[in-house]
């Protein structure tokens, strides 16, 4: 494998591992404040945080993206980074780092913003981006004469079922913790909507 052809995927994995360790998988709240969508303080069981206008006024633009790198358990990070490795590297090798970078930026920022509006800043993870990667690869193959990524169509069905289970509260009931369902849904939609831009950047036609 030519490692230079998947440098962005490796960077995403490395940053995720580094930031997740820095925040102690969620135990180090002071460090977590630096990477969450908005700065926050805890008073007992209540969370106080900046609203979106406050985040914009602070000029701390990195907060729109950095929540994707925070993970709160070993299972959480392994599950997400496995998909980055399996799908992200394939997109990067076949279509280039620019396509992957824009897909990550668009889906990451959109899913973070949507989840923040629903739940506040106490969330994180690459799941929204993962949903985008899977949705993009699935739709590309579905509308191509010759499938390029070659993932089984059932994979998209599995992710839709996973999304439905999250909204139904089944995943949380199974002890998987709070699930950022809004981030998952918006990430999936971002991946589908990215297809025209991905085709343009990859030099393909319908």
- Residue predicted with more confidence, 172 or 131: 131
Among residues 94, 163, 154, which one has the least CA distance to residue 132? 163
Structural element, H or E, at residue 65: none
> 104 Cβ partners below 8 Å, 6+ apart?
8, 12, 68, 88, 129, 132
- What's the pLDDT score for residue 162? 74
CA distances from 133 to 19, 65, 200 (A): 21, 16, 17
Query: Which CATH architecture is the domain 3-201 placed in?
Result: Up-down Bundle (1.20)
Which residues are part of the catalytic machinery? 127, 184
Query: Whole-angstrom distance between the N-terminal and C-terminal Cα of the chain?
Result: 30
- What's the pLDDT score for residue 86? 94
- What's the pLDDT score for residue 45? 81
Give Cα 177 distance to the centre of its chain: 17
Query: Is 88 a residue whose pLDDT tops 70?
Result: yes
Token digits of residue 36: 């969450």
Residue 176 binned pLDDT confidence (cut-offs 50, 70, 90): low
Query: Is 205 a residue whose pLDDT tops 90?
Result: no
């Amino acid at each position: 494998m030519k490692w230079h052809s998947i440098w962005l995927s490796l960077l995403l994995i490395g940053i995720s591992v580094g930031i997740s360790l820095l925040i102690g998988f969620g135990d180090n709240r002071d460090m977590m404040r630096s990477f969450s969508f908005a700065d926050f303080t805890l008073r007992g069981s209540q969370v106080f945080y900046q609203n979106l206008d406050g985040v914009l006024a602070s000029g701390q633009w990195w907060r729109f993206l950095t929540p994707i790198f925070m993970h709160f358990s070993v299972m959480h990070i392994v599950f997400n980074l496995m998909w980055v490795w399996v799908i992200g590297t394939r997109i990067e090798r076949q279509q280039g780092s620019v396509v992957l970078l824009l897909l990550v930026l668009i889906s990451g920022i959109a899913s973070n913003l949507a989840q923040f509006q629903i739940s506040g800043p106490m969330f994180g993870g690459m799941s929204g981006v993962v949903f985008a990667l899977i949705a993009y690869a699935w739709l590309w193959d579905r509308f191509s004469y010759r499938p390029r990524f070659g993932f089984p169509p059932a994979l998209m069905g599995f992710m839709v079922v996973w999304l439905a289970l999250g909204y139904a509260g089944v995943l949380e009931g199974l002890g998987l913790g709070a699930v950022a369902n809004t981030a998952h849904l918006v990430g999936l939609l971002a991946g589908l909507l990215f297809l025209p831009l991905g085709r343009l950047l990859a030099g393909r036609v319908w």
